[in-house]
Structure 1
Amino acid sequence: MQTDLQEKIKELQRKIAREITYFQTGGVRPRGAIDECWIGRVLACAADEELPVDQNGAPMLPLAQFYLPALPYVPQVLDGVKLLAVFISQDLIGKFDDDMDGLWAIREYKNEAELVIKELANPRSQIRPFPLQPKFAADDTPVWDGGGLDADAIDEILRLEETEGLEYYDDIALEFYNCTKLGGYPSFCQSGVSFGEGYQFVFQISSDEKAGFNVIDGGSLMFAKNSQNGAWSLYYDFD
């Protein structure tokens, strides 16, 4: 491959690659401290808080806890946030659909001083708690039809495919992190997906065999935030 073409590809890769924090499940001895990340466990909250309840008044299940100051990369939309806690309804497990209102909740904490160690456990939960080890990557790229590429990048990729005989997955794309992660690109399997106007993808929690968490068929829950009003949006996808 000629040098000028190689440089064009490298420049395009630098343009589309995004930084992420991704997580390895288990493999570390937990301390039960606020500064830990978990799947299947939330152990930090405000002193007067209990488990959130779903639309039917039933306590939700703790799905994940992310302590952001300990992470190598955090999306800018989360500036000032110290801890995220994610909960889902028992009614959501195994039967995800398009209407998930009232079946999930996110708590954001900006003041670490308000946090206490308080196990928010639900005995009905089938999700096995495991600590999460954060890892850094700078080469997350999107699937071709999954969204996230800007128009200029798409035009350049199509031009290289037509004029140079390149193929996006073989010659241009870097790595696809289809796992629990903050930042980067959502692991869409379906094309034409939108979180809604003003929303940007922030993180995803993917199916985890070790933790016994499965989204339909090895899919992911993907969370986006509106930077203007702070609202969250949830989408799910699977192969």
Structure 2
Amino acid sequence: MPDILNISCYKFTPLPDADILCTTLAERASALNLKGTVLLAEEGINFFLAAPPAAIYTFVNALREDPRFADLDPKESWSDTVPFRKMLVKVKREIIRMDHPTIRPAASRAPSVAPATLRRWLEQGHDDEGREVITLDTRNDYEVDEGAFRNTVDWRLTKFTEFPPALRTHKASLADKTVVSYCTGGIRCEKAAILMRNEGLEHVYQLEGGILKYFEETDGAFYDGGCFVFDERRAVGADLAITPLQSEGKDKPQQPT
């Protein structure tokens, strides 16, 4: 069995002390010999880490001692080697850039749908109230090209800041349908769902935990291909094991854009 634990997690919560946390977490990650990325901002934390499991659990448990992070629930997968080359802890303006300051998930989350519920909706062809269900991919185009939910709505975004204007262009096509926004781990689809609600779309949900949680908690049905991940594995399948890339090309970012 592979012995390197990979985790991804985010939490929208006010962090006015992000600069102080940056120093603390950098020191802690270095002491545990972790590799990956931790992003901090006033709106919260987002991290992708890899190491032997004891080191990972030590880091996460220490984070949970802070009441703001007590309910962290990282998504887990395994690999034979560490898929990151270095450890980066950084403070940014947003942990996922949308350039839409009225969207503040820490203040009010959008409703979510559990992976098992989405799978059931997709299998039966409608939600529990009989409405047509549409999956909306909030990821970048090169991520979608590696795999997506069957018949998903894909606006060919090249960065997440393009989502708000794309929504305004296509909003009418989503009216009166149940829209489930999704992304790799949940962070982009959470902001996207809030924006759609604010723009007047009534039946909008985020996929709780994103594609990775869907893979973890279901059999992966109705999803074709792999899920692009922001490390040297590049993509994982429904079994959360490395899967061959569907497309080759220029180097991709090491974190969502």
TM tier, smaller: under 0.3
The two structures have a TM-score, normalised by structure 1, of 0.26
Relative contact order higher in (CA < 8 Å, ≥ 6 apart): 1
The structure with the greater share of residues assigned to helix is 2
**Larger Rg over CA atoms:** 1
